[in-house]
Amino acid sequence: MSETTVEAVGVPRARQMLELAGWASRAYARYDSATVQRIAEAVVRVAESKAEHYADWAVRETGFGVVEHKIVKNKLCSRGILDAYRDSDYVSPRIHAERKIVEVPRPAGVILALTPSTNPVSTVYFKVLLALLTRNAIVVSPHPFAKECCADAARELGKAAVAAGAPDGVVQVVDEPSIPLIDALMTDERTNVILATGGVPVVRAAYGSGNPAIGVGPGNVPVLVDATADLHRAATKLVDSKAFDNSILCTNESVLVVEESVADRFIRELERSGAYLLKDEERDRVRDVVFPEGRFDTSLVGKDASDIAARAQVRTPSRTRILLAPFDAAVDEEPLAHEKLCPVLGLVRVPNAQRGIRTAVALLRLGGAGHSAVIHSTDPGTVMAYAAAVRVLRVAVNEGGSTGCAGFGTNLAPSMTIGTGFVGRSSLGENLEPKHLVNWTQVAYSTDPAEVMPSFVGIHPEEAPLEPVPPYPVASNAGAPTLTAVPDLPEEVPTELREELRRLILEELTAIVRG
């Protein structure tokens, strides 16, 4: 099929989806807090009930990760997310009588969610729930390598939302991702915000689309273990984290930096927890397999440690969960110093904690700026010095990075989208959470004491529907207009921008294949 034919099919489809999403977002923006919570609860029940089904499907479709761990992530990103924000209200006005200010919530509107192949269904769960909790409509565009499980999951969540009273089209999904279709979704002005979780090319394309975007950068998480650490606990946490879903989360530890005085004891603790320390010649073979010609082999994403060892002709104990790969210096020329989305953990020994901090800083210069770091220490001075030195926006202390930096196991916001802030070239400096998908109009009264702000208690701008909203395009009781045709874009996207977006998106869609 020619590109012209694909575009003829893809672009009108994108416009239809966005028109329906716009209608749904306008209707949904009138719902009250109790109704929104009821809808979210109904969606979570379905998501939770299918956590195992989609975990198995995702592993079969992508070949990445561990089913049991994906079940955990699917549950954390369904029931876990709802429980985390159950007492938060992103719907009702906020009244600050002492400041004479009333804040009225304004949902973003239509969200385009680009989801990855590494954490496919859990990211769909997460972004759909955040959209519903903030009264937004969402169009999910899954990675082509995970399109079947993600499309089915999004459709099931959408059906559950509508059955609970949400407007028709509040959750939609791209069944067959294509460059023209994604390009049209990203550049259409009816897309109010893009949530880009994936590789660097897609994030860049999102930021260059002309629409507001929240994108995140890659990780390269250093973990420092100093002489004061509880070595047994740290080893258990570290191996569990590095082995979790076979290191597929970008928050997984990439390089261990350990203080020399405790290094041998700590390695023994790691081995008891399921790590295998590679001999020099074994490390070299593993390095060549994982980084052929110095570039990470993406076919190894989320593979078992035993699979990687077998490819490198390394014999390991049957209980091996991660491979420890020692190297000398955190320099760009050392492939093992870079991010590894597989259970291979680099290992560097340092004479003291201060040198360890400098090594972690050097590792982050190679990649992962703004992302995450981990430290195991009982010395608050070292923890503070580490946090101040490393150029990241989250530091997990005495906890595994995979889940800890993602807000599961720590009190960070639970999230599948990790903002890297200014240093990481991201518009988001926190873990993505519902508050980032709603703005607040501030109604501010004069500070003149003679001006008394009246009571706004009991006054709400929204009107909860008394019955389900009729299907699109019928005018609803929430005030949506009747629509009979899908309008064209108001103006064409410049050809040079469209071609650049195509190039960037194509680079991302084919990244795994190239490996």
335-367: burial string, b at 16+ Cβ within 10 Å, e else: bbbbbbbbbbbbbbbbeebeebbebbbbbbebb
Can you say how many angstroms the Cα of residue 41 is from the centroid of all Cα atoms in its chain? 22
First CA to last CA distance, the chain? 26
Contact 91, 105 (CB under 8 A): yes
Rg (CA), the chain: 24
Cα–Cα distances in Å, from 343 out to 203, 207, 397? 25, 31, 21
Question: Read out DSSP for 43-76?
Answer: HHHHHHHTHHHHHHHHHHHH--S-HHHHHHHHHH
**Gap between the Cα atoms of 496 and 76, Å rounded:** 42
φ, ψ for residue 130, nearest 5 deg? -60, -40
- Which amino acid is present at 509? L
Give me the catalytic one of 149, 250, 342, 405: 250
Is residue 466 classed exposed, middle or buried when 0-12, 13-18 and 19+ CB atoms within 10 A define those classes? Answer: exposed
HEC assignment per residue over 471-515: CCCCCCCCCCCCCCCCCCCCCCCCHHHHHHHHHHHHHHHCHHHHC
Does 250 participate in catalysis according to the annotation?
yes
Residues forming the active site: 250
